[in-house]
Amino acid sequence: MTPEEMEALKRARRGRNVALGLLLLGLIVLFYAITIVKFGHH
């Protein structure tokens, strides 16, 4: 493998990790918002 290919793989992996992290963060925020709304009405 050339250094360029290795760098491309690292970049792709990092991008996927960032996407997964953002997705996870989005889900946490969503659950948090749902909880606030549910308990806010009582």
- Which H, E and C letters describe 1-33, residue by residue? CCHHHHHHHHHHHHHHHHHHHHHHHHHHHHHHH
Give me the pLDDT at residue 1, please: 85
**For the segment 19-39, what is each residue's pLDDT rounded down to a tens digit?**
999 999 999 999 999 999 998
Give me the pLDDT at residue 40, please: 84
Task: Count CA atoms closer than 13 A to 28's CA, side-chain side.
Answer: 6
